[in-house]
Structure 1
Amino acid sequence: MIQLRRLLVATDFSDDAARALRYGVELARSFSAQIFLAHVLEEDLLRVLPALRKFIDTQSLDLGRYHEEIRKGALRALEDLASRHRVEGVAIEPVLLEGGSKAAEELVRASRERRADLIVIATHGRGALRSALIGSTAEKVVRTAPCPVLTIKAGGQHFV
């Protein structure tokens, strides 16, 4: 019999990721499982200010504070998303991952650390080409995850 106790649900705050979260919540409710709601803070966001030095005065900007504000904002967004999807009997723990440009590696690492029984991820995220069969992050997660991966098709049907 399949036992799902810990689900890692990936989000990039896109509509497709929200759909994947709804699937995760319903599975968690059915199996009395815990959800780890994971977002990878992309390194590219943290490189924006130094790249803008040609256009604005970045001398007065505190890059450490900038990074911390982005981190706090992402964590608030995760907590808000988790609170909007909480249902009775389902614990949702926000997990902010800081790993740079390798989102798939961070998600796989987090699934190992939390001993996830299943990863739920949208096939396409914010930056994915819609014409691709599956987005690069989802594809890498499927290929390297230590547990089964449920991919949720972009714009797919709702089963709940």
Structure 2
Amino acid sequence: MPLFASDNVLVPTDFSEQSYQAINRAIESFGDTTKIHVIHVLSPLEPTQPGMVWQTVDHQTRTDHITTLFHKTFPSEADRPIKFSVIVGNPSSEIIDYAGSHTIDLIIIPSQGRTGLSRFLLGSVAERVVRFAPCPVLVVRR
């Protein structure tokens, strides 16, 4: 029996162990993987980064690398067609925008569980998504 009756589920990934668990939990809970969206948000390249200065790295090469990594991690995607996207931008903003534009009914987001000063300085993507998402958010912790 599914945990939620949902049409479209979004699982943001940063390729951490927690995000793999969130993707697997979505697959187990919802069964129909055609309704599961997995996204990875890349931070924009800064003009002073070595790859940009030497013109060896651009958004397309980074996107191709991430897509290849996802297909290696989840090789049976052909049997289970998960919608995978790579977006460049601010993680929390892009996740919220993607959820709004793709009529996402539930976001399953992993949390790194930072506390104290590190959370204050680094911020929390999961917290911002919970606050501003246009749909319910399930936070998966260790």
Is contact 1:39–1:78 with CA below 8 Å preserved after alignment? no
Residues 87, 3 of structure 1: alpha-carbon distance in 2 compared, 3 angstrom cutoff: farther
Tell me the CA shift for residue 78 of structure 1.
Answer: 2.8
Identity %: 26
Gap regions ≥5 residues in structure 1: 156-160
Aligned residues: 132
Is contact 1:82–1:93 with CA below 8 Å preserved after alignment? no
SS in structure 1 at match of 2:48: helix
**Residues 1:40 and 2:41 aligned together:** yes
Is contact 1:11–1:18 with CA below 8 Å preserved after alignment? yes
Q: Which position in structure 2 is the counterpart of 1:80? A: 72
1:25 to 13, 24, 27: 27
Q: RMSD over aligned Cα, in angstroms?
A: 2.6
Task: Measure, in 2, the Cα distance between the counterparts of 1:104 and 1:14.
Answer: 17
Residues 82, 6 of structure 1: alpha-carbon distance in 2 compared, 3 angstrom cutoff: farther
Q: Which position in structure 2 is the counterpart of 1:129? A: 114
- Higher-Rg structure is 1
Gap regions ≥5 residues in structure 2: none
**Residues 1:151 and 2:139 aligned together:** yes
2:91 to 103, 108, 111: 103
Task: Measure, in 2, the Cα distance between the counterparts of 1:11 and 1:93.
Answer: 13
Task: Measure, in 2, the Cα distance between the counterparts of 1:80 and 1:93.
Answer: 15
The two structures have a TM-score, normalised by structure 2, of: 0.78
Q: Which position in structure 2 is the counterpart of 1:8? A: 10
Q: Which position in structure 1 is the counterpart of 2:48? A: 50
Residues 81, 114 of structure 1: alpha-carbon distance in 2 compared, 3 angstrom cutoff: farther
Task: Measure, in 2, the Cα distance between the counterparts of 1:82 and 1:35.
Answer: 13
